Amino acid sequence: MKAFVTGAGGFIGSRLAAALVEKGYDVTGLFMPEEDSTAAEKAGITVCRGDITRPETLTGLFDDTDVLFHLATRTSDWGPASVFENIMVQGTKNILTACRKKAPRFVYFSSIAALGFNRHLDGLSEDAQRNLTGIPYCDTKIKAEDLVREFCEANAMAYTIIRPANVIGPGSVWVKDILDAFARGPVPVVAGGKASGAFVFVDNLVDATLLAAESDAAKNQTYHIRDDYEITWGAYTNFLGSHIDRKTFGSVPFQAAWVLGRFFEMILTPLRIRPPVTRLAAGVLGRNNDVDTQKARQELGWSTRVPLDAALEDIAAWIREVYIPMNFHKTRKMKKFFQKVVYITGGSSGIGLETAKLLVRCGANVILIARNPEKLDAAKKRFELIKIVPDQVIDVISMDVGNAREVAEKMQGAVQSFGAPDILINSAGINKYANHFENITSEMFQEIMTTNVTGVQNVTHALFPAMKEKKGHVVILSSAAALFGMFGYTAYGTSKAALMGFGESLRYELAPLKMPVTVIFPPEVDTPMNLDEAKTLPAEGRAMKSMAGLLQPEYVARVIVKAIEKQKYFVIPGFQTRFLYFFHRLTNGMASRMVSDLVVKWAIKKQKKTRGDRHETF
């Protein structure tokens, strides 16, 4: 059997042509004069050059064809109606005229868009009325369907019309265009993102097409092809965005999107400017388009072969292996962090772990450093599952940052194995001795200083010569406790204040070398270290800490990544803490000390009352 595929270089056409070759068909594909056909030639497809809008280029191409699959079209949600008319109606007429002599089986690819996206399509069968909407893509699909039926009936040609739903798969417009939109800026959903995706996976669509082409029952019939995937547009869009660290923002009501689409199309299309929203996009994203597919299932015996989870995994693999390496420059974060080498101390938990996760999602090569090898291995396994390109490096080093000799040896080996860091994030720290000063021994105090201060000095000093060559970025995680004193923090606060001084002094030294320094001052963060501290922190300290609020490590990680991206030096996460620091500086500390003293007195009074109540109970 000899098959001919127009649009053989397109997303669906290339998959269909390859499947026909696998089934033993002798396949010829139609490509535009300048279109790349390398992959098709390697797959054993005969390549023809032509243009469906120029009938002279089609003469004789189909004289030896048994079945012709017409997929060449204009897949776009905007553009002048004349362009759609020329390609989708006149182009189809040119194809039909060129193959009239041989009269092969004619399979035409239409779309559920022919039903009209100005309404919900759920439950509509192939016999439902088709509505003209004024949307060029939808209306020309109706005209082309009518043309195929009339021409084929007049010339004794058997035809089948395939109406796919929203076709997804590696490289489809419903993958690439959405990712590109995320790269340009915020992406809202339509109607809350609650509309069904109405998707069909490309391989399942090809299955249905082959069944229709080989079935006598499919002659002169129309079929809706849609998988019964239970996924909304909101969930699908956020699934795609998660691979490039993006998520949807806001929602536009359907009617508003439709009216805005009409307005922008009317104003911008004549100027050849892409409208920011179109009626086609509003109809696809904001209406339930779960058309009825019983006819295809009963007459063709078609069913979904590739389930949703497998389809999404294929798409995710394409994003990691193809889209991101080719498009990482499109987003500022990707451009900043893709393939950069990042060392993170304290990377097995808390803020360090969450920061590492964000950087992995941006394509960075991340080296996690911590004491606990079990936690490091668990983090590595977790990040291996979410890395965005196959050759992305995720590795771990178990060491004590307070041990200068161990740090020097292991950092030298790390540079040899992974390269010098473009970014060093000093996140390792402890606070297990938050207590009254009289209860903190010199050994306890020194342990805090060794890990929190000497550890930062050890790692930064060991890596400095290699980082100097790359003009690397040094990040130091201090604390809000460095900005104003805290009850029970004589050891921890001292260590973090020392880091503030260290960071500022280091900044002056590295500025002439064009090596950025960033110091982060987070308040209380919901991390494992916070749980250690709570075992000994006095009630007075707990009351004072509550004034700055509690942040989640994911939020602080986002602040850190943004600070690195913008090369900020002094960064305080959280509005409450920034306000307190401003108030503290404005009053030279007097007002904040007065408030803190009142809070401490209140906490002491509350403790006495609680102890008294307990005594009375006994």
Cα angle: 370, vertex 376, 377; to 5 degrees: 155
How far is residue 373's CA from residue 200's CA, in Å, rounded to a whole number?
Answer: 45
User: Which one from 14, 492, 495, 592 is the annotated catalytic residue?
Assistant: 492
Q: Is 496 a catalytic residue?
A: yes
How far is residue 497's CA from residue 484's CA, in Å, rounded to a whole number?
Answer: 9
Please give the C-alpha separations between residue 372 and each of 51, 376, 400, 428, 458, in angstroms, as whole numbers: 64, 6, 9, 12, 19
Q: Which of 538, 377, 367, 389 is nearest to 463 (CA)?
A: 367
From first CA to last CA, the distance across the chain in angstroms is 95
How far is residue 375's CA from residue 366's CA, in Å, rounded to a whole number?
Answer: 15
User: Under a CB-based contact definition with an 8 Å cutoff, are residues 10 and 71 in contact?
Assistant: yes
Specify the length of the chain in residues.
618
What are the residues whose beta carbons fall under 8 Å from the beta carbon of 442, sequence distance 6 or more? none
How far is residue 426's CA from residue 475's CA, in Å, rounded to a whole number?
Answer: 6
Q: What number of other Cβ atoms are within 10 A of residue 558's Cβ?
A: 16
How far is residue 300's CA from residue 24's CA, in Å, rounded to a whole number?
Answer: 20
User: Under a CB-based contact definition with an 8 Å cutoff, are residues 77 and 281 in contact?
Assistant: yes
How far is residue 491's CA from residue 515's CA, in Å, rounded to a whole number?
Answer: 30
User: Which one from 110, 196, 427, 478 is the annotated catalytic residue?
Assistant: 478
Q: What DSSP letter does each residue of 550-580 carry, written as one string?
A: EE-HHHHHHHHHHHHHHT-SEE--SHHHHHH
User: Under a CB-based contact definition with an 8 Å cutoff, are residues 337 and 364 in contact?
Assistant: yes
- Find where tokens 């509005």 sit: 575
Q: What number of other Cβ atoms are within 10 A of residue 181's Cβ?
A: 17
- Alpha-carbon torsion, ordered 559, 561, 564, 570, to 10 deg: 20
Q: What DSSP letter does each residue of 156-212 carry, written as one string?
A: T--EEEEEE-EEESTT-HHHHHHHHHHHHS---EEGGG-SB--EEEHHHHHHHHHHH
Please tell me what DSSP assigns to residue 26.
Answer: E
How far is residue 476's CA from residue 358's CA, in Å, rounded to a whole number?
Answer: 17
User: Under a CB-based contact definition with an 8 Å cutoff, are residues 362 and 338 in contact?
Assistant: yes
User: Which one from 141, 295, 340, 496 is the annotated catalytic residue?
Assistant: 496
Q: Is 492 a catalytic residue?
A: yes
Q: What positions carry a catalytic annotation?
A: 478, 492, 496
